[in-house]
Amino acid sequence: MSTGIAYETALQEWRQTAPADPRPLDLPVSELLSNFHPDRKPGARSKLVIGPNAGEECPNTLSRLLQSDSLLEDVDIAGAPTSEADVLVIGGGGAGCIAALTAARAGARVLLATKLGLGDSNTVMAEGGIQAAVGADDSVQQHFEDTIRAGHFAAKKELVAALVTGGPSAIRWLIQEGMDFDLADGTQRMGGTLRYKTAGGASVPRLLSFRDFTGLELMRAVREATLLQPNLTLLTHHPALELLTDDRGHCAGAVLYDFAHGQEVVVRSAVTVLATGGSGRLHLSDFPTSNHYGATADGLVLAYRLGARLRDVGSFQYHPTGVAWPPPLEGQLVSEAARSSGAFLVNGLGQRFVNELQPRDVVASAILREIDEGRGITRDGKVGVFLDTPSLERDNPGILARELVTLGNLARRGGFDPAEEPFLIRPTLHYQNGGVEIRTTGHTSVPGLLAAGEVTGGLHGHNRMMGNALLELVVFGRSAGANAAADARRERPRNVGLTHLADWRRAMESEGLPLDRKAPQLFPYYGNFDPVRDRRRGA
Amino acid sequence: MTMVRLVIDGHAINGESGTSLLQAWVAAGLPLVGNVGCMGQGVCGACRVLVRRPNERLAQTGLACETLVEEGMQVAFINISRQRRPHSYDLHALGDSWDAIARIDEIFPEATRCRHCGGCDAACPKGIEVEKMVNLAAVGQTLAAAELFDDCVQCNLCVAACPEHIDPAHLGQLVRRMTASMTLRPSDLIMRLHELEAGEQTIDLDSPGTLPQVSDDADVETADLETADVETADLETADLETAVVETAEIENADVENAQIENEEVQ
Ligand SMILES: Cc1cc2nc3c(=O)[nH]c(=O)nc-3n(C[C@H](O)[C@H](O)[C@H](O)COP(=O)(O)OP(=O)(O)OC[C@H]3O[C@@H](n4cnc5c(N)ncnc54)[C@H](O)[C@@H]3O)c2cc1C
Ligand code: SF4
Ligand code: SF4
Ligand code: FES
């Protein structure tokens, strides 16, 4: 793994060639992806044998989780405290908060349950921006086509159409909730124009931003709105362990786990909205991740066990530029803004090896190829390639301090000066392209269960464009919330229990799957938390 | 690799130098189920700690994912609920901006009683001039106040530090949200919204641009085989579609797009 060129040697090579000449990829893209993209690595995937997607391939780690048994038995919920809600929202990131707000404002009694604190999520970490076609030279059609193309034509068109046409009103909604946006240079807050940046794979600049911490600005406004919303009850540090069903097989709420007391809490609801986000903390194929600590695919596990169809579940996004060294920062994101501003990627021989502005999957695979073929750079047992920030600064004096503030902070914490020394970077597990299949209304294939945000699949095909994830959580968070509130008026939970588990266990047994494998996992493996053991504490 | 000794929440730990307090905590085999979110980016504000270094008389507040281990440190996690909300308001009912100062004073009456003790500034892990923000907000200089809070991660350490119960973190959010929602009116966005409402911006689902092209640049080549399953539109249970119709009146129609829904039912 860590064979390559020693850091000191590579640094000398880099000094001699910097700024290195452009060198296009010398391999057809399709060959590059099929040989080096982690999704395609032989041995890393296996076929699902039970559940709605049986027969489809997905990464081994995820397939183990999807095909495991519940943490719960009927007795666990028999005496548990119970609450009721019209709409239960699971997950307190951007999608969950927006769905909960929308449902509560539509008159539903809402309960929002989340695993960590409110807003402690991938949303708050987003840096680059949110895409919406507002420019005079842009159109929702162009946004549509760019998204379809970036996703390698595998996205569900109806979802993408809803995403892009909902873009401008999503931005208005965010402003109405008190989110600020960057303005174009020299324009004013009233009647000016927004600032557009370019996302990799976009035909025109349409990435709207707030500095290089767009997700923080979004989450601050939306979290505050959620905290202040009447009709909305919050249960933080209450992860969902299992969904509930009624006698018709509809989703009827969830069993939560109250960490503080080590006990289950039952929430019966007419409608449930799943907004649990992604799965970077599963560290598929041992990749580092940019994701927050709670991104462990819980929502996929719960929905799948209840019979919800997933799609593109084997497709993940590896962000090209995660930190490879120093170890304490491993996996953290060096924003795409560095490459879009013109920073080069350089291997251990001082050579460039790909056009840095290609879509993320291409650039990431090209980096992995350099590493695999021994042209990577090794330092203290870590391996990566250089992101040439010093040459960027030399050609654009002041750019690091002015436009790449978060990048500068990251380098400072790593103990080096990005104007003098290049970053050592390596692809990091970043985004779950697929997920629970939904319609434009947010409905999944299970009645009573809606979903929004990164937990869903279909919008991004096999590769997500930068800026579409933040847009997705606003557009689909809102429509899921509105539809959940509407459905809740017609629904009452009845005979609620864990009836789906009997069939599930039978299916597991008939395929010879071990029943002692339990999920959801809730935290990464190094979090020293075993839900099975911890639950005995409360008993 | 050098190791340092420190104490976190009563546990004596050997931490590898260069690692953060959170990393040292999990490396020592201790369970981490709260006081964490982004795990290193320093943006969620969940990992608040009180840190006392040897030879320092006073303890300092900080973020455990950004603070590196040091020999002899004494560390305690601080739990502050974000849910305690004495200062409530409805952003959409604040009225017009002539009354902004009056509204701020109504919602955060304590803000005018700042005793300039600097407790909030000392507590802030992001080096924000919290006291100055409070004082500017109290006299209605909302834009200037809002800008001071650009980097706030809502950790609420300033809230815990304030003897006057001013709730600076939330006052900061009020002025920020007020400023954005009352003063940000981008003309490009407004134009596009009008075009959408007038039906001048629509989607052609099957335009040539949505199809792989032979002549296209390299990345498109990969469109190949994987798309096979796309059009086998995986939708069952037509009865669920009825939900769509009923929602139209709930939200301003902009979320939905009737044309698209029809396509989907087929
Ligand atoms: C570092 C980084 C940078 C990014 N930059 C951008 C960008 O510039 N532009 C862009 O568009 N996108 C970006 N993304 C992607 C985007 O931020 C996410 O895809 C999006 O925010 C996901 O929102 P969400 O609400 O679906 O999930 P999240 O925001 O992750 O929220 C999910 C919530 O559910 C909780 N949860 C998980 N399991 C359970 C459970 N069992 N029970 C209860 N709650 C649970 C989680 O703890 C979390 O709070 C970035 C992502 C990262 C990590
Ligand atoms: S201003 Fe307050 S809430 Fe914001 S970062 Fe500083 S201490 Fe935390
Ligand atoms: S802690 Fe409170 S009283 Fe003291 S300076 Fe800050 S806002 Fe004023
Ligand atoms: S874990 Fe998010 S700020 Fe430390």
| Residues A456, A466: Cα–Cα separation, whole Å | 17
Residue A443 bears catalytic tag: no
Choice from B49, B157, B167, B174 to test ligand 2 binding pocket (greatest atom count within 8 A of CB): B157
The closest alpha carbon to A210, from A128, A333, A124, belongs to A128
Q: Is A46 at the interface with chain B, CB within 8 A?
A: no
What tokens were used for A350?
A: 């001082």
| Residues B192, A140: Cα–Cα separation, whole Å | 9
| Residues A344, A14: Cα–Cα separation, whole Å | 11
pLDDT digits (tens, 9 = 90+) for A361-406: 999 999 999 999 999 999 999 999 999 999 999 999 999 988 888 8
Restricting to A residues 474-503, those with a Cβ less than 8 Å away from any Cβ of B are 475, 478-479, 482-483, 485-487
| Residues B120, A287: Cα–Cα separation, whole Å | 40
How many Cβ pairs within 8 Å bridge chains A and B?
306
pLDDT at B237: 35
What tokens were used for A153?
A: 């034509």
* Locus of tokens 């405290």: A81
- What is the location of CATH 3.10.20.740 in chain B? 3-77
Query: Residue A234 corresponds to which amino acid?
Result: L
Give the residues across from A268 on adjacent strands.
A84, A253
Atom of ligand 3 nearest to the CA of B116: 5
pLDDT at A135: 98
Residue B225 banded pLDDT, cuts 50, 70, 90: very low
Average of per-residue pLDDT across B49-78: 96
How many helices (H) and strands (E) in chain B? 10, 5
* Locus of tokens 């965010």: A174
pLDDT at A145: 97
* Residues of chain B neighbouring A529 (CB-CB closer than 8 A): 31-33
| Residues A242, A266: Cα–Cα separation, whole Å | 10
Contacts of A172 (CB under 8 A, 6+ apart): B189, B193
Q: Do A102 and B251 touch (CB under 8 A)?
A: yes
Please tell me the distance between residue A129's alpha carbon and the centre of ligand 1 in angstroms. 14
Chain B: closest CA distance from residue A107 (Å): 10
pLDDT at B84: 61
Residue B214 banded pLDDT, cuts 50, 70, 90: low
Torsion sign (Cα): B167, B169, B175, B177: negative
Residue nearest to atom 3 of ligand 3 (CA): B114
Residue A292 bears catalytic tag: no
Residue B262 banded pLDDT, cuts 50, 70, 90: very low
- What is the full DSSP assignment across A481-523? HHHHHHHHTT----S-B-THHHHHHHHHHHTT--TT-B----S
Please tell me the distance between residue B94's alpha carbon and the centre of ligand 4 in angstroms. 32
In the Cβ-directed half-sphere of B91, how many Cα atoms lie within 13 Å?
28
For A89-123, letters b (16+ CB in 10 Å) and e give bbbbbbbbbbbbbbbbbbebbbbbbbbbbbbbbbb
The closest alpha carbon to B62, from B70, B75, B71, B72, belongs to B75
What tokens were used for B132?
A: 């100055």
Query: Residue B64 corresponds to which amino acid?
Result: A
pLDDT at A538: 56
Hey, what domains does chain A have and what are their CATH numbers? 5-36+318-429 (3.90.700.10), 48-71+500-531 (no CATH), 98-259+266-315+433-488 (3.50.50.60)
- What is the location of CATH 1.10.1060.10 in chain B? 91-197
Which architecture characterizes domain B3-77 according to CATH? Roll (3.10)
What's the angle, vertex CA B184, arms to CA B178 and CA B190, rounded to 5? 135
% helix / strand / coil in chain B, to the nearest 5?
45, 10, 45
Residue B254 banded pLDDT, cuts 50, 70, 90: very low
Instruction: Select which of A339, A430, A443, A464 is catalytic.
Output: A339
Residue B252: pLDDT above 60? no
Instruction: Select which of A109, A319, A360, A462 is catalytic.
Output: A319
Please tell me the distance between residue B150's alpha carbon and the centre of ligand 3 in angstroms. 19
| Residues B32, B14: Cα–Cα separation, whole Å | 17
pLDDT averages per 10-residue partition of chain A, 539 residues? 86 96 93 93 91 96 98 93 97 98 98 97 96 98 96 96 98 98 96 92 93 95 97 97 95 96 95 98 96 98 98 95 93 90 94 92 96 96 96 94 87 93 97 98 98 98 95 98 97 88 97 96 96 75
Average the pLDDT over each of A331-340, B64-73, B211-220 and give the range with the smallest value: B211-220
The closest alpha carbon to A384, from A405, A403, A370, belongs to A370
Please tell me the distance between residue B123's alpha carbon and the centre of ligand 3 in angstroms. 10
pLDDT at B258: 34
- Class of the CATH-defined domain B91-197: mainly alpha
What's the angle, vertex CA A20, arms to CA A18 and CA A22, rounded to 5? 160
pTM (two decimals): 0.93
* Residues of chain A neighbouring B189 (CB-CB closer than 8 A): 132, 134, 168, 171-172, 194
Atom of ligand 3 nearest to the CA of B115: 3
The closest alpha carbon to B34, from A529, A533, A454, belongs to A529
pLDDT digits (tens, 9 = 90+) for B7-38: 999 999 999 999 999 999 999 999 999 999 99
* Mutation site, A29, A45, A143, A165, interface B, largest B CB count within 10 A: A165
| Residues A335, A331: Cα–Cα separation, whole Å | 12
Q: What's the Cα-to-Cα distance from B223 to each of A154, B65, B218, rounded to whole Å? A: 8, 41, 10
| Residues B33, B39: Cα–Cα separation, whole Å | 12
* Mutation site, A31, A57, A159, A220, interface B, largest B CB count within 10 A: A220
Within a 10 A sphere around the Cβ of A467, how many other Cβ atoms? 28
The closest alpha carbon to B203, from A167, A473, A135, belongs to A167
Residue nearest to atom 4 of ligand 3 (CA): B117
Within a 10 A sphere around the Cβ of A349, how many other Cβ atoms? 17
